[in-house]
Amino acid sequence: MLTFKEDQDFKALRGHILNPLSDTSCQCFPDGIIVARRKSGVWLVEALGDASSIAENYQLDLDDVPVNSGVVLPPFYDIHFHWVQDDVREMPKESLLEWLERYTFPEEARFADPDYSEVKAKHFWSRILATGTLGGLCYSSIHSVALDAAMKYAPSGFRIGGSLMTMNCPGFLRQTVDEAVGAASYGAKTYGDRYCITPRFAPTTHPEVMTAAAKLAENSGLFQQTHLDETIAEIEWVLGIYSEIDGFDDIQNYTEIYERCGVLGPRTVMGHAIHLEPEELELLAKTDTALASCPTSNAPPEDFGLGSGLFNFEQVESHGIRWALASDIGGGPFLSMFDVIESFVQQNRQIGRSSATYTKALYRSTLAGAEILEYGEAKGNFAIGKEFDCIQCQSPEGMRIPSNAEESIAQLIGQVRTRSDYDALVSSAVLNGEVIFERAPLKA
Ligand SMILES: [Zn+2]
C-alpha cells in the first residue's frame, strides 16, 4: 500500500527508488523522494533525489513524510504480446507452428463472440495492470469486437492491433483480402494512433494486404507490428510460400518480404528476430526498424517456451538496432515482466554474455520499450517533467534492501519461489499520479 505526503496539486512519495537510465546505469535512492505536481490535470515529476536533500529544498519535515516499504520503479512496457492468448499460455508447446494450429488459432476464434471478448478483456487488463505492465504493444484477434473490448479496458499507454490473416490459416480465422484491409481502416479510423497495423506474419497475410495496410500506416502515422525469424521451420515455410508469389520469387530472406511490402521503418516492431542473416541485420538497421525480444517464449519447452532459440542482443546492438523486452503472451507462459527479466539474465549468462545484467533488463523492460513506442518523452522513468507513473514492489519484511540498483532487482526477483508468483510481486500501481491498483496486504 502506498502513502504520500500530499495536498491538492502536490505529492511526495518516499521509499527505496530505482530510476533506470540506460543499459549500464540505474539510479538508486535507498531513502529517496519523488515530488510530483499536477499541471492542467497531468501529474508530472518535478524532483527526484535523496530524501534529505529533497526535504531541504521543499522545506519538508521528514518526520512528516511517510516511508513506503519495498521498492518503487517505473512501470513496465511490454512491446509484444497477444491478449487473446491468455488461456493458451500454459498449453503444451512442442513447436511454434504446431502450438498455433492446435491451441492458439481455435482459442482466438472464440473472440468472434462479443460477450466472450468483453468478459475476457475485463479480466485480462485487470490482471496485466496488476503485474505492473502499464503500457505496450499488443496483438488482438482478427475480430473488431475483440479490438473494441481491448481498447475499452487498456489504458492509453497500450497500442493495439487486430491481426490481419488472409491465407495459410484455418478457415474459421481467415479474412478475405478486402475484409483485412477494411479491418485495418476501421481500426485506424476508430482509434487513431492507438491502433497498430498488425499483419500476423508473412505466411498468413497476403502481400497486397501488407502493402495496403503499410500505406495506411504511413499516411496515418501508425505503428506496425509483426513476427520475424522466430524459428527455422517457419523461415523455410515462409520462403517456400513466397518463392511462388509473383514479385517475390527473387527474395533472398524473410526480412526482404516485409521490406518489399513497406512494413519496415522506425515505427515498426518486429517480434523475435532470432535467426537473422547478416543482410537482414543490415536491412533492419538501415530502415531503423525496432525489435521485440521475448526470452520466456523463446526458451526451451521444459521452461514452458516454444524452444525457438536465444535472441542475440550483442549482434543486434552492434548494428545499432533498437530493441526491448516483451512477454509474448501466450508464447510466453507468464504475464509478469519480472519473469521475462529473470529469463533474459539467466539464459544469456548461461552462454557467457556477461553484459546481460538486471540493470540492463530493467532498462529494456521500461524506458527502452516506452522510447520505441514514442512515449519516451513523457514516460518510461522518473526523469524531471515526465508523467508520474510508478509501481511498488514487495520485498521481504524487515530485510535490508541493497543500496545499489543491480542487487536491489536481484533481491526482488530472488525472493520469489515459483515463476507464477512474479505476477504478485507488484503491490501498487500509479498511473498519472493516481493509484489504479492496490493488492490487499498479505495476512500473517
Ligand atoms: Zn507473438
352-383 confidence digits (pLDDT tens): 999 999 999 999 999 999 999 999 999 999 99
204-256 confidence digits (pLDDT tens): 999 999 999 999 999 999 999 999 999 999 999 999 999 999 999 999 999 99
Task: Please name every residue paired with 7 in a beta bridge, in sequence order, or none if there are none.
Answer: 10
pLDDT at position 407:
96
398, exposed or middle or buried, with CB in 10 Å at 0-12, 13-18, 19+? Answer: exposed
- Provide the 10 A C-beta neighbour count for residue 133: 29
What is the value of pTM for the model shown?
Answer: 0.96
Q: Domains in the chain, ordered, with CATH?
A: 5-74+381-438 (2.30.40.10), 76-372 (3.20.20.140)
118-157 confidence digits (pLDDT tens): 999 999 999 999 999 999 999 999 999 999 999 999 999 9
Q: Kindly give the distance from the C-alpha atom of residue 80 to the centroid of ligand 1, in angstroms, as a whole number.
A: 6
Q: Kindly give the distance from the C-alpha atom of residue 293 to the centroid of ligand 1, in angstroms, as a whole number.
A: 10
Q: Kindly give the distance from the C-alpha atom of residue 296 to the centroid of ligand 1, in angstroms, as a whole number.
A: 12
Q: Kindly give the distance from the C-alpha atom of residue 413 to the centroid of ligand 1, in angstroms, as a whole number.
A: 25
Buried b / exposed e along 276-314 (16+ C-beta atoms within 10 A): beeebbebbeebebbbbbbbbbbbeeebbbbbbbbbbbe
Question: Is the distance from CB of 368 to CB of 324 less than 8 angstroms?
Answer: yes
Instruction: Tell me the residues surrounding ligand 1 (ion) with CB < 5 Å.
Output: 271, 328
Q: Kindly give the distance from the C-alpha atom of residue 82 to the centroid of ligand 1, in angstroms, as a whole number.
A: 6
Spatial separation of the C-alpha atoms in residues 196 and 174, rounded to whole Å: 19
Q: Kindly give the distance from the C-alpha atom of residue 403 to the centroid of ligand 1, in angstroms, as a whole number.
A: 37
Q: Kindly give the distance from the C-alpha atom of residue 331 to the centroid of ligand 1, in angstroms, as a whole number.
A: 7
Question: Is the distance from CB of 291 to CB of 270 less than 8 angstroms?
Answer: yes
Strand 76-82 to strand 26-39: parallel, antiparallel, or no bridges (unpaired)? Answer: unpaired
Torsion of CA 77, 82, 88, 91, to 10 degrees: -70
- Provide the 10 A C-beta neighbour count for residue 253: 19
Q: Which amino acid is at 5?
A: K
Spatial separation of the C-alpha atoms in residues 32 and 18, rounded to whole Å: 9
pLDDT at position 444:
46
Contacts of 251 (CB under 8 A, 6+ apart): 239, 242, 243, 257, 260
Whether cis (ω within 30° of 0) applies to the bond prior to 330 is: yes
